[in-house]
Amino acid sequence: MIISKKDISSFDRIYRLKLINSLSGLKPANLIGSKSKDGISNLAIFSSVVHLGSDPALLGFILRPRTVERHTYQNIIDHDYYTINHVHPSFVKQAHLTSAKWEKSEFEECNLTEEYLAEFPVPFVAESKIKIGLKFAEKVDLKINDTALIIGYIEFIKFTDPDILLEDGDLDYDKANSVAVSGLNTYHEASEILKIAYARPIKDNSI
Amino acid sequence: MIISKKDISSFDRIYRLKLINSLSGLKPANLIGSKSKDGISNLAIFSSVVHLGSDPALLGFILRPRTVERHTYQNIIDHDYYTINHVHPSFVKQAHLTSAKWEKSEFEECNLTEEYLAEFPVPFVAESKIKIGLKFAEKVDLKINDTALIIGYIEFIKFTDPDILLEDGDLDYDKANSVAVSGLNTYHEASEILKIAYARPIKDNSI
């Protein structure tokens, strides 16, 4: 089944939104925690967190400025800090509901628990097994469609279960049980099928 | 278990590389296909493909210029076109091996099959169930660590099994069985746990 550029333009807006959002593959489901100037906590689900580099340790995410996500960005600018928290099956529904518009803090409205750790001025998600504290680094505007890449330095990591961190530095995702998302609203559990050594050319092609 | 900024800087380089690459969550595993000026096909695995927008339909990926990935970028510039192909369990080892340095085309060296579709001048991966053809749009330099975000327009989509595309525009990932990757070299299968309607505030908090 083939879909051309012309087909894509001709699709109904919602159908295209669902199809194109589904195309990139399985995406990480992450909750970004932040706090407004007035002290109101904010929590929003993102599927666009991306690894940018390990030294310095950097993560990015894509911001669509015309949505509820703008609270997240304003808060990041105001406080300079934000948190990224993995989502697990036990609270995937609550996590998804943060994408709606709420009057009060999404923590309260969606039944998730604020957690403050070390000197971090913004909330982590207590229910999350992998919590990352970041300091805002840079906003890179993507003029092609008025989105932006928000880049932050990783300053703090907490694993609620120390067994998640393996001896070699990898994380055990079967233990963490972090969920993936496809499209806008379909969630998936993952199970490890293969851990391979660093790839080197092989001579006999016996893969 | 808490890891501070100071801990991160003090870690051995490879340990830090593995840990930080593992942090963002489950990442999509995609093979990017391209072709050099001399007509040599190239295939490289990326875990950083990210959805940027649906109208126009745009995907991005992060390029680390000092690695084997530079062939991919040079080819994209030369031909203006490239392909993104999902990875499935049946060829996950071959897909991973494309990250090594090879003398000939990775298609040949890693036992994957080139497929040419419609007018696209660059190869798709025949074994992949979800194939996307893109036209280069823009390179956005990320000066913070000398990486770049490569942006492309989605111009062509092929699903080998039409059942993968659901009636509403979502994709059925249980059918597609596309794999996710964590860190640098651990691969995962996913299974759907929940498809939720568009999130709306609820009045009674009975999530």
Nearest CA-CA distance, residue B123 and chain A, Å: 15
Share of chain A above pLDDT 70, in %: 93
Interface contact flag, B170 A186, Cβ < 8 Å: yes
pLDDT at residue B205, rounded to an integer: 37
Q: How many CB atoms lie within 10 A of CB A198?
A: 10
Q: How many CB atoms lie within 10 A of CB B129?
A: 20
pLDDT at residue A207, rounded to an integer: 34
A54-78 pLDDT, tens digit each: 999 999 999 987 666 678 999 999 9
pLDDT at residue B199, rounded to an integer: 62
- Smallest Cβ–Cβ distance between A24 and the set B24, B28, B142 belongs to B28
Residue closest to B131 by CA, chosen among B139, B141, B120, B142: B120
**Residues of B with CB below 8 A from A2's CB?**
117-118, 156-158
CA distances in angstroms from B30 to A24, A26, B87, B181, listed in the order given = 8, 10, 6, 9
ipTM of the complex: 0.94
pLDDT at residue B197, rounded to an integer: 78
State the DSSP string of A117-185: -TT-SS-EETT-SEEEEEEEEEEEEETTTTEEEEEEEEEEEEESSGGGB-TTS-B-HHHH---EEETTT
What is the rounded average pLDDT for all residues in chain A?
93
Nearest CA-CA distance, residue B105 and chain A, Å: 12
Nearest-angstrom CA–CA distance, A167 and A165: 7
Interface contact flag, B111 A205, Cβ < 8 Å: yes
- Smallest Cβ–Cβ distance between B53 and the set A145, A160, A201 belongs to A145
A155-189 pLDDT, tens digit each: 999 999 999 999 999 999 999 999 999 999 999 99
Nearest CA-CA distance, residue A76 and chain B, Å: 18
Nearest CA-CA distance, residue A105 and chain B, Å: 12
Q: Please, which residues bridge with residue A3 across strands?
A: B157
pTM over 0.90: yes
- Smallest Cβ–Cβ distance between B25 and the set A49, A57, A160 belongs to A49
**Least confidently predicted of A1-5, A203-207, B56-60:** A203-207
pLDDT band at A31; cut points 50, 70, 90: very high
Stretches where chain B sits below pLDDT 70 are 66-69, 198-207
Nearest CA-CA distance, residue A204 and chain B, Å: 9
- Smallest Cβ–Cβ distance between B18 and the set A25, A110, A170 belongs to A170
pLDDT at residue B201, rounded to an integer: 59
Rounded mean pLDDT of A114-125? 95
B116-129 pLDDT, tens digit each: 998 899 999 999 99
Helix (H) or strand (E) holding A79: helix A69-79
Within an 8 Å CB–CB cutoff, is residue B5 touching chain A?
Answer: yes
Residues 177-196 of B with CB under 8 A from A: 178-180, 182-196
pLDDT at residue A67, rounded to an integer: 66
Q: How many CB atoms lie within 10 A of CB B74?
A: 14
Interface contact flag, A188 B187, Cβ < 8 Å: no
Nearest-angstrom CA–CA distance, B34 and B55: 24
Amino acid letter for position B128:
S
- Smallest Cβ–Cβ distance between B26 and the set A137, A180, A201 belongs to A180
Give the chain A residue whose CA is nearest to the CA of B166: A19
Interface contact flag, B57 A16, Cβ < 8 Å: yes
Alpha-helical runs (H) found in chain B: 5-10, 13-22, 69-79, 92-97, 106-109, 173-176
Within an 8 Å CB–CB cutoff, is residue A96 touching chain B?
Answer: yes
What are the phi and psi torsion angles at A63 (to 5°)? -110, 125
DSSP secondary structure code for residue B183 in this structure = T
